[in-house]
């Protein structure tokens, strides 16, 4: 069994990822809901700064961490002129500040693993941008740049760093769209269907495996040929 730290365990994608690692040793985090699978679970609000001691205490039983998966996200559909700076700060904290905070604390334990991996769930909008989601897209794009930079920085430490960028995934965030918007998207998607969370989880599972040791600094797009 491997030691896994999963942040964002109770979201649709996070649940699917957790399921794929349910037989491993998992320390999980989420903002509101409990994890659906066995783990040492901790409630943590990533939208605001938190104490470093929270992470240290959560992983104190792990001498080594094999995989760190960062999967939280909070949809924000607004024109930029209508977006408060408070909401900008919340998006920044969720997507960047908290991610960096976790990596800083976990890295010493990750580098002790013979095949450590960091995997960040980003978004198609982090690559191409999205109208009405400019703030969300901005910080998802920043995640991708961080992944590419850390892949170079950590290469000699035997820690791979990759991102998975899903397109339109079936789940609670998609349900925030109107039926008309979903119908429009389905017409625009080359495969004419939504992405299943299990597809994202399978990609994460592969990137954490020994067969993916030479894959680092990549953003794996799962969007059915929508943006290639």
Q: What is the DSSP string of 98-152?
A: HHHHHHHHHHHHHTTSTTEEEEEE--HHHHH--TT-HHHHHHHHHHHHHHHHHHH
DSSP type of residue 45: -
Q: Which residues of 17-33 are buried (b: 16+ CB within 10 A; e: fewer)?
A: bbebbeebbbbbbbbee
Domains of the chain as residue ranges with CATH: 3-222 (3.40.50.720)
For residue 5, which of 71, 95, 49 has the smallest C-alpha distance?
A: 71
Q: pLDDT confidence of 130, banded at 50, 70, 90?
A: confident
What is the rounded CA–CA span in Å between residue 205 and residue 17? 8
Asked whether residue 37 carries a pLDDT value surpassing 80, the answer given is no
Q: pLDDT confidence of 69, banded at 50, 70, 90?
A: very high
CB 57 within 8 A of CB 34: no
Radius of gyration of the chain measured on its C-alpha atoms? 17
Residue of 37, 92, 107, 136 with catalytic role: 136
Q: For this structure, is 136 an active site residue?
A: yes
pTM recorded for the entire structure: 0.93
What is the rounded CA–CA span in Å between residue 36 and residue 34? 6
């Amino acid at each position: 069994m491997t030691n896994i730290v999963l942040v964002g365990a109770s979201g649709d994608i996070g649940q699917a990822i957790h399921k794929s690692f349910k037989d491993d040793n998992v320390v999980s985090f989420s903002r509101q809901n409990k994890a659906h699978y066995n783990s040492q679970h901790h409630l943590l609000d990533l939208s605001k700064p938190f104490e470093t001691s929270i992470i240290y205490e959560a992983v104190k039983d792990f001498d080594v961490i094999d995989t760190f998966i960062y999967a939280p996200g909070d949809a924000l559909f607004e024109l930029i002129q209508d977006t408060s700076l408070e909401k900008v700060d919340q998006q920044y904290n969720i997507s960047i500040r908290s991610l960096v905070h976790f990596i800083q604390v976990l890295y010493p334990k990750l580098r002790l693993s013979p095949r450590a991996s960091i995997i960040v769930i980003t978004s198609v909008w982090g690559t191409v941008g999205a109208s009405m989601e400019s703030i969300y897209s901005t910080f998802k794009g920043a995640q991708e740049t961080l992944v590419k930079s850390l892949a170079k920085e950590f290469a000699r430490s035997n820690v791979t760093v990759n991102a998975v960028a899903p397109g339109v995934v079936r789940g609670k965030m998609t349900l925030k769209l109107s039926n008309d918007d979903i119908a429009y998207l389905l017409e625009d998607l080359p495969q004419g269907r939504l992405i299943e969370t299990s597809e994202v989880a399978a990609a994460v599972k592969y990137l954490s495996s020994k067969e993916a040791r030479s894959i680092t600094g990549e953003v794996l797009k799962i969007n059915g040929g929508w943006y290639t």
